[in-house]
């Protein structure tokens, strides 16, 4: 479904009971809401599940490509208002985790629980900012197909390419369908995002941390550091998974997610 949010066309899907506990899924960069298919399929119908495409991704409008993480948070909050959702469980992976943490920092009263997957609270250091700038240059010089191939090598465990080719194909399809303006704009937004680490001790809501054991971008040590500063966090390391743990080992991921949701519903 498409809705006008902050003068921007935003795409989302929802399933389950409209009066059930709302669970909102925020995808990682540079993918879209389809990456949550295994979780949406596993979620009991008594939940109200929403997965949306961050602006510039999937079927959401690209706009001018001048993005900020604050805009992404504004879009999320406007979507919750549009759906008349007073308090939700928020689940974000990677970039989705950055958005989730900043949203909870800014609007703590709107969230009942938090699921953070393969993400961190720290802002980019100088080297990561340099790497993001290099990625923007490479995208312009080499094209979206080469960008997709290189990016997938960073986010997936080596075994995934052999054991789960359908996952590789799905993620590659999402990347190559993304407008280069959106990729560049999002990279700039991620490089400029705020650091939410100082706010973590005040986020006194139930939190679940999930991280792939072979995640090289936000490794398990980062997840442990994040979980250690959240007052009510539990952490699980997902075996046989890299940065896209929800897709690389969905059975283990879903078991932990559903157990947590049953506890906070």
End-to-end CA distance of the chain: 26
What residue spans of 107-207 are helical by DSSP H?
A: 126-142, 144-155, 158-163, 165-176, 180-191
CATH number, domain of 102, equals 3.40.50.1820
Q: How far is CA 111 from CA 88, 100, 105, in A?
A: 5, 10, 10
- The pLDDT confidence band at residue 167, using thresholds 50, 70 and 90, is very high
Q: What is the pLDDT of residue 32?
A: 98
- Quote the number of domains for the chain: 1
| Residue 265 scores a pLDDT above 80 | no
Under a CB-based contact definition with an 8 Å cutoff, are residues 219 and 211 in contact?
yes
Q: What is the pLDDT of residue 156?
A: 98
Strand ranges for 17-153 from DSSP E: 21-26, 47-52, 88-93, 111-117
| Residue 179 scores a pLDDT above 90 | yes
Q: What is the mean pLDDT of residues 135-153?
A: 96
Q: What is the pLDDT of residue 183?
A: 98
Note the pLDDT tens digit of each residue in 182-229: 999 999 999 999 999 999 999 999 999 999 999 999 999 999 999 999
Percent of the chain whose pLDDT exceeds 70 = 100
Q: Is the overall model pTM greater than 0.85, yes or no?
A: yes
Q: What is the mean pLDDT of residues 117-126?
A: 97
Under a CB-based contact definition with an 8 Å cutoff, are residues 204 and 231 in contact?
yes
Q: Which domain holds residue 75?
A: 2-264
Note the pLDDT tens digit of each residue in 27-78: 999 999 999 999 999 999 999 999 999 999 999 999 999 999 999 999 999 9
Of residues 96, 94, 187, the one with CA closest to residue 139: 187
Between CA 13 and CA 97 the distance in angstroms is 19
- The pLDDT confidence band at residue 22, using thresholds 50, 70 and 90, is very high
Note the pLDDT tens digit of each residue in 149-160: 999 999 999 999
- Provide the 3-class DSSP secondary structure of residue 252: helix
Note the pLDDT tens digit of each residue in 65-115: 999 999 999 999 999 999 999 999 999 999 999 999 999 999 999 999 999
Between CA 28 and CA 92 the distance in angstroms is 7
């Amino acid at each position: 479904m498409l809705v006008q949010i902050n003068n921007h066309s935003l795409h989302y899907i929802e399933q389950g009971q409209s009066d059930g506990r709302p669970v909102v899924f925020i995808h990682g960069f540079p993918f879209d809401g389809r990456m949550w298919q295994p979780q949406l399929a596993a979620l009991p119908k008594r939940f109200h599940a929403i997965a949306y495409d961050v602006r510039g991704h999937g079927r959401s409008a690209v706009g001018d490509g001048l993005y900020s993480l604050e805009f992404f948070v504004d879009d999320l909050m406007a979507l919750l208002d549009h759906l008349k959702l007073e308090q939700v469980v928020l689940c974000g992976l990677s970039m989705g985790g950055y958005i989730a943490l900043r949203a909870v920092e800014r609007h703590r009263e709107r969230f009942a629980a938090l699921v953070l997957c393969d993400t961190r609270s720290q802002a980019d250091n100088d080297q990561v900012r340099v790497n993001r700038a290099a990625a923007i240059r490479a995208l312009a010089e080499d094209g979206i197909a080469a960008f997709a191939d290189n990016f997938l090598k960073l986010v997936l465990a080596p075994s995934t390419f052999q054991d789960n080719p359908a996952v590789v194909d799905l993620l590659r399809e999402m990347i190559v369908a993304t407008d280069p303006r959106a990729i560049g704009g999002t990279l700039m937004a991620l490089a400029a995002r705020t650091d939410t680490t100082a706010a973590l001790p005040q986020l006194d809501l139930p939190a679940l941390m999930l991280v792939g054991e072979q995640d090289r971008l936000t490794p398990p040590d980062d997840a442990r550091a994040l979980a250690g500063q959240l007052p009510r966090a539990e952490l699980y390391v997902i075996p046989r998974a890299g940065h896209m743990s929800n897709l690389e080992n969905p059975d283990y991921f879903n078991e932990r997610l559903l157990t947590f949701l049953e506890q906070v519903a």
